[in-house]
Amino acid sequence: MKVILDCDNTMGVRKSDVDDGLTFAYLYAHPDVEVQGITCTFANNNEHVVYYNTLQMMEDLEITDVPVLKGGRTPGAYDSEAVNFLVDTVNKNPGEITVIAIGSMCNIAGAYTKDPEFFEKIHRLIVMGGILEPLY
């Protein structure tokens, strides 16, 4: 199964949750999953922190074969490398990509805005809701 993880990874950031990092670790280690990339978005923290934290996680895990892409910094910021990666990867692999979105839906909305047939081209979209209050 080919997967793109769209997340707001803050695993390793003080007083932040770890679910996104653990989700990536489980996906990457699963023999039936091919992680195509990680698209970063804001939510648990701002996009800048999420992106650089995810790069650091990949370095710590010595994983070099999964691209990490920056998403929009605010709601409605759809012009990003993450959005372009989502659309391009899905168009190159129609019907094969499962998108697991566990952060804000900014990149997903951006992919739909850029390509209104985006949802018809993916295999599956899995969305995990989050908390509505600060963690601390």
**Alpha-carbon span 28 to 30, nearest angstrom:** 6
| Per-residue pLDDT band at 107 (split at 50, 70, 90) | very high
3-class SS at 104?
Answer: coil
Give yes or no for a contact between 71 and 87, defined as CB atoms under 8 angstroms apart.
no
DSSP string, 57-82: HHHHTT--SS-EE---SSTT---SHH
- Residue corresponding to tokens 């409605």: 76
- The beta-strand segments (E) located in 1-136 are 2-7, 34-40, 68-69, 97-101, 124-127
Q: What is the pLDDT of residues 60-102, one digit of tens each?
A: 999 999 999 999 888 889 999 999 999 999 999 999 999 999 9
- Residue 132 is predicted with a pLDDT of 62
Interior/surface letters 18-32, b for 16+ CB within 10 angstroms, e for the rest: ebbbebbeebbeeee
Q: CB count, 10 Å around CB of 92?
A: 10
